Amino acid sequence: MCDAFGTGYFYIPGTETCLKFSGEIRATLGEDKHGGVNDNKYEWNDEVRTRLNISAKTDSEFGAIGTEVQLQSKWNSGDSSDNFTARYAYITVGGFSAGRLLSYADNNGNNSYWNSFANTALANNDTAVTAIRYDYKTGPLSFGVTLDDLQDSSLAGTNLAGGKYSKDFGVEAQLSYTQDALIGYIWGAYDNYREHGVVYGHIEDTFGPHLVQLDAEYASGVNAYETTYNWQVSGVYEYSVTPKLALGPAATYYKYFDSVKNGDNYWQVGGDVYYYLQKDKSSKTYVQAGLAYSTDDKAINSYVRFLRAF
> CATH code for 10-309?
2.40.160.10
Looking at residue 159, its pLDDT comes to 56
Residue type, 160: L
Contacts 24+ apart (CB under 8 A), 133-142: 133/96, 133/97, 133/98, 133/101, 134/95, 134/96, 134/97, 135/95, 135/97, 136/95, 137/95, 140/177, 140/178, 140/179, 141/175, 141/176, 141/177, 142/174, 142/175, 142/176, 142/177, 142/178
Q: What is the pLDDT along the chain (310 residues), one digit of tens a residue?
A: 787 787 889 988 888 899 999 999 999 999 876 555 455 666 788 999 999 999 999 988 888 899 999 999 998 876 667 788 999 999 999 899 999 999 999 999 999 999 999 999 998 889 999 999 999 999 999 999 999 999 989 888 765 455 556 689 999 999 999 999 999 999 999 999 999 999 999 999 999 999 999 999 999 999 999 999 999 999 999 999 999 999 999 999 999 999 999 999 999 999 999 999 999 878 999 999 999 999 998 989 999 999 999 9
Looking at residue 158, its pLDDT comes to 62
Q: Taking the chain, what is the end-to-end CA distance rounded to the nearest angstrom? A: 17
Residue ranges covered by each domain of the chain: 10-309
* pTM for the model: 0.90
